[in-house]
Structure 1
């Protein structure tokens, strides 16, 4: 496995928002490049374009391609991961584009089709990972994949990592005990770091890193060092931010990040349906309680 990629997956992976002009209007490529450079400049080692935090399912094909280009333009020196979703032809087309832009890996979303099961999702993933030009990070989120299927896919030679966001940590512990040669990544952000770090998972994905990369890095450092007191201290003000993102099925998940960015003076626009605007007073109160940047 590429050691540079493995090291980055064991760190903080920022999942970037997609900036829009005029509220939730056209995708703003220049703002996206600036946001990417801002996050990388703060020390984040890896970025994901077209994750769920980018409202990937609300972007059309041309916007997805534009975001891949914009993130590539702003991420010199960092590990770049391209989120891929949609039909097989679109996934493969964007994988080829990502490879041409210098991305290091792709992150494959589970298919959105509700009329499938474990066997269908597994077949979809195997078909694609064997045809893509870059190594794959699997995004396991829905729970449709049974533990045995996750183990089979994680052991595939083209798979370098698994972004694991299913709440079943006992299953994750079982998977990790199998000795599969891939990097396991906490896909549920900072709030789950204490639990996943206890299993030996070092890396995590972060939406907070769009706003406060320093805090995401502080969480990682405390968990890496095994400093439970420091981890609890740095997490305490962050947990309210994450709870609001995850409340009510996550309908404000991206909006909280975008509103916090706006409060910091970096406007990235609003969210598109079915996401809903965040309760501004709550976001403002939470952001006000975050510690000042060092």
Structure 2
């Protein structure tokens, strides 16, 4: 797929798919992963991101990462776009991207640096060495200040850097980042549906979703509303999904770390929808009973609304 075709594919909803483990959490169920991905695609999804944070990237071995990506590519139609996550050391990312390219992915996404000690110029060199080592189109993943506007602008001059997943909840900073970068990049709202209308107004051409894995219809309708600048319709869909999204951002019981509910809430939602979510791996834990009850309430509200609402208006 050409760089321009990948950019076109990024102007959509990016389904950041989960990784299904067996009941013991020991092994990946690749057959189930294919079934889950096909279910989303059958609902209209066209852009898939395996091995991202929602896919528990840092809880997977490199062999599991490659196998998850391969299962995704095998599951989807050739017309769909698969963007696979890779992170860690420079050599590790280069190795994974090489494997991904052999598998047949359409693009790679360089995960946000997890290094303890950083230098701005070293950050640029890290990304640039990776970008120069592959022919794959590359999406940059920004989750914090380390990947600065200046570094994005410099990397954006590389032909195969095609987009940015912007996962920082600061609309002012997002607007400034786009203005500061004259490269032809596709910008994605990386914090999902909650602020998708606001990010779209500032230049985001798509957004990522986790709950789309079990409620794909309203997620896709939200993107359609944004694309057609139907702001009231978009806000209505966003408001329907907001309670479940807010639950994902919570820390869970007896936990000081934010957003620990994120992935277990998605996997539990998949179970509610009749799909296989399965357990999470450490350092995450399952939702507690109270949060499960809330998830059920919010899911039922979404489902009952879907039975009566016409989101195409």
TM superposition score normalised by structure 2: 0.89
Q: CA deviation at 1:23?
A: 4.3
Counterpart Cα distance in 1 of 2:219 and 2:24 = 27
> What secondary structure, in the 3-state scheme, does the structure 2 residue paired with 1:51 have?
coil
Q: CA deviation at 1:4?
A: 2.6
Counterpart Cα distance in 2 of 1:247 and 1:268 = 19
Q: Which residue of 2 aligns with 1:213?
A: 216
Alignment of 1:211-290 (within 5 A): 211-248=214-251, 249-278=258-287, 279-290=291-302
Q: CA deviation at 1:146?
A: 2.5
**Counterpart check, 1:145 vs 2:147:** yes
Counterpart Cα distance in 2 of 1:275 and 1:122 = 31
Mapped contact 1:21–1:268 kept (Cα < 8 A): no
Mapped contact 2:211–2:269 kept (Cα < 8 A): no
One of 94, 98, 101 as aligned partner of 2:100:
98
Q: Which residue of 1 aligns with 2:254?
A: none
> What secondary structure, in the 3-state scheme, does the structure 1 residue paired with 2:133 have?
coil
Q: Which residue of 2 aligns with 1:199?
A: 202
Q: Which residue of 1 aligns with 2:168?
A: 166
Structure 1, unaligned runs of 5 or more: none
Please list the CA deviations of residues 10-66 of structure 1 after superposition, one character each: whole Å capped at 9, or x if unmatched. Answer: 111100000011142311111111111111121111101100000000111221121
Q: Which residue of 1 aligns with 2:25?
A: 24
Counterpart Cα distance in 2 of 1:122 and 1:286 = 42
Structure 2, unaligned runs of 5 or more: 252-257, 308-313
Which runs of at least 4 in structure 1 moved beyond 4 Å after TM superposition? none
The Cα RMSD (Å) is: 1.5
> What secondary structure, in the 3-state scheme, does the structure 1 residue paired with 2:191 have?
coil
Please list the CA deviations of residues 157-182 of structure 1 after superposition, one character each: whole Å capped at 9, or x if unmatched. Answer: 22000111122322322232243211
Give the number of aligned pairs.
Answer: 294
Counterpart Cα distance in 2 of 1:138 and 1:13 = 14
Counterpart Cα distance in 2 of 1:30 and 1:75 = 13
Counterpart Cα distance in 1 of 2:217 and 2:5 = 21
